[in-house]
Structure 1
Amino acid sequence: MRVLITGLSGFAGKHLIEFLASGGTHEFLGIDLACSAGSLEIGDCKLTEEKADLLDRNKIEKIISEFKPEQIYHLAAQSSVSRSWKDPINTFSTNVFGGINILESAKSSVPDARILVICTAEEYGEIEDGRAIKETDKIHPENPYAISKSAMDFTSMVYHRAYGLNIMVSRSFNHIGPGQSEGFVCSDFARQIALIEAGKQEPEVMVGNLDSGRDFLDVRDVARAYWHIMNKGRAGQVYNVCSGKPVKISRLLEILLSLSRVSGIKVKKDMDKFRPIDIQTVFGDNTRLVSGTGWKAEYSLKRSLKDALDYWRENVEGPSVGKSC
């Protein structure tokens, strides 16, 4: 099986390739701006990495026409909500026009390939009655990132209907777990606590809005969900990838502080961490994913947070508090 993954070096991409490689013999091609070109073996699988900008249509067409993937996982995106407010033009270009280049190239070279386009629960906006969001609910994107992903979501379905491409879309809720970069709430809290434990930050955690509720799912369960959708999902269908229950941001922090090796850590608000518009509560209904593909989550919230904290304990950098470099 020839499998193409965009966004290979990203948070979900790394876990996806690890999961896919454990399940059989495949030939993988990963596209990413952060990749260094080359090949390596992962178990019985061959992985070739190609550095490429999704906005370089000629290069994307060449890669896909030569590799001829049977499956395409399109994960690459500018996925930070806060960054999207600061740079909406780049966010829209990468997430929409970059994605269209993938679909156009697939249409020309591999029209029978199965394609999973990763979109986001941010598209939904806020559901007023606070219920679990279904795929059939109307979308109301309220930030530049969500708007860009809504555009790609609709574009994907148009390409399915107009050209018969075997496209499925995931609307993924919040991922957590080991390996996530800074700029996302769980990873941000875990990194700060790891810095405090290492004596590299004063014993206080800087936070934004702790009152909002989100649907958090371990990234390893997310990777498994993507495989289930790709192999058992129905073309032209949208799937929520979520846990099915909301968790307050304050609860995440509470669990992480309970796992800390340092007691008495203070919590301090940082207004720079607040968004111009913040939705109060968002959580999804995963019935379609579970019943349609047989997927189910395996990781508990506490396990995910512990693994995220352990990751940062091994990867924090910086001078100790009160000491020179």
Structure 2
Amino acid sequence: MAAVNPGFWAGKRVLLTGHTGFKGGWAAIWLSRLGAKVTGLALAPDQRPSLYELAHVGARTNSRLCDLRRPDEVAAALEGAAFDLVLHMAAQPIVRTSIEDPIATFDTNVMGTAHLLQTLRRQTSLQAVLVITSDKVYANAETGRAFAEGDNLGGKDPYSASKAAAEIVVQSYAKSFFPSVPVGTARGGNVIGGGDFSRDRLVADIVRAVQAGEAVTLRHPEATRPWQHVLDCLAGYFRHIEALATDAATPRSLNFGPRPGGPEVTVGELATLGVAALGGQPWRHEPDPVSLEAQALAIDASLAKRAIGFESRLDAPQAVALTMDWYRRQAAGEDALALCEAQIADYEGRS
């Protein structure tokens, strides 16, 4: 499998949006380790604790806090800065939050993306732009079939629809305003890893329940998801933008998820692994009859292997084990940044 290329990233000026979030925090740490000069653009962290604060991510980036929903703020935050690469990860990422506040979700995920791309039109040194969307951008008829990049976009909940709409915004801007800069989208699976403390995220809910001496409650234990460790997902993103910048034949949109042909893992099965790793109580089921969340979701990541030589290295049990080890050791007093860097080093050493 093609590995992330440190030589490509060394000295690159990278704009990373969403660096105050879970996945963005890991990205900032890894990019800094690779020698990139990272400018972070995002809102302040909206969770306590946060990986951003625990791992001192702000000290590893030129951190600029602003609201992507406000175009004047975005323009002011980037005034005078020049970038080689842009990795746009900032988003409202929670399905249930999108149902509670759909307008803010569309504003962030659709218009926030448009505002960023509009501002990037002023950049003269861009080599590539990669916008992160989601595995949920596809029109899901719940057949269980794995979605490929050419399938129809859709979304029955506001989060999924907002990410599908962002895909169309990106295509429009790419064709209209970036004729010589490759602009792509990456559709990642359900990401797990240490340092996620978000509301309504399975792993974070498990950790909170175990620490409180309670049983985690699951709405849909039978649901299936394309589970992926955060380092597998980020490695795919990094390889994609490397390829966009160096090979004109690189597909503009790619799926990143578990290895093709691997076993499906249900929410209940993942929760069982997580609870066992932390020594917690067995989970319990509390059905949500009005939920809009998909029961079956799978993505076909074979194009990424064929086009850019990328394939995930970790299966679901390995991803859970790494994730829970991070939380267990961090709760015992180990440094969050050191834990992240150790797991990145271990991942880089895998073949």
What TM-score, normalized to structure 2?
Answer: 0.79
CA distance in 2, matches of 1:125, 1:181: 29
Residue 158 (structure 1) aligned to one of 172, 176, 195: 172
User: Contact conserved, 2:95 with 2:293, CA < 8 A, in 1?
Assistant: no
Matches within 5 A, 1:80-99: 80-99=94-113
CA distance in 1, matches of 2:137, 2:154: 6
CA distance in 1, matches of 2:127, 2:103: 30
Matches within 5 A, 1:109-258: 109-110=123-124, 112-163=126-177, 164=179, 165-182=181-198, 183-193=200-210, 195=211, 200-202=212-214, 204-233=215-244, 237-243=252-258, 244=260, 245=262, 246-258=264-276
Deviation at 1:33, TM superposition (A): 0.9
CA distance in 1, matches of 2:184, 2:142: 27
1:30 counterpart letter in structure 2: G
User: Contact conserved, 1:191 with 1:313, CA < 8 A, in 2?
Assistant: no
Q: Percent identity?
A: 23
Show the counterpart of 2:345: none
Deviation at 1:258, TM superposition (A): 2.9
Deviation at 1:303, TM superposition (A): 2.7
CA distance in 2, matches of 1:179, 1:17: 13
Deviation at 1:313, TM superposition (A): 3.4
Whose strand fraction is larger, Structure 1's or Structure 2's?
1
Deviation at 1:102, TM superposition (A): 0.7
Task: Give the total of aligned pairs.
Answer: 302
- 1:210 aligned counterpart, secondary structure: coil
Residue 67 (structure 1) aligned to one of 64, 81, 106: 81
- The range that moved more, 27-36 or 49-58, is 27-36
1:298 counterpart letter in structure 2: R
What TM-score, normalized to structure 1?
Answer: 0.85
Residue 29 (structure 1) aligned to one of 31, 39, 58: 39
Give the direction of change, closer, same or farther, for the CA distance of 1:221–1:266 in structure 2 (3 Å limit): closer
- The range that moved more, 139-148 or 122-131, is 122-131
2:275 counterpart letter in structure 1: L
- The range that moved more, 229-238 or 154-163, is 229-238
Whether 1:312 aligns to 2:323 is: no
User: Contact conserved, 1:115 with 1:168, CA < 8 A, in 2?
Assistant: yes
Give the direction of change, closer, same or farther, for the CA distance of 1:55–1:278 in structure 2 (3 Å limit): closer
Show the counterpart of 1:277: 292
Give the direction of change, closer, same or farther, for the CA distance of 1:275–1:291 in structure 2 (3 Å limit): farther
CA distance in 2, matches of 1:140, 1:89: 17
Show the counterpart of 2:279: 261
- 2:122 aligned counterpart, secondary structure: helix
Report Cα offsets for 1:256-285 as digits up to 9, x if no partner.
2332435xx24322346x662232211111
Unaligned runs of 5+ in 2: 1-11, 46-51, 333-351
CA distance in 2, matches of 1:81, 1:112: 32
Q: What's the C-alpha RMSD, in Å, of the aligned pairs?
A: 2.5
Give the direction of change, closer, same or farther, for the CA distance of 1:254–1:48 in structure 2 (3 Å limit): same
Deviation at 1:39, TM superposition (A): 9.8
CA distance in 1, matches of 2:57, 2:324: 31
Q: Highest Rg: 1 or 2? A: 1
Report Cα offsets for 1:130-173 as digits up to 9, x if no partner.
22210001123110001111111101011111222421001111
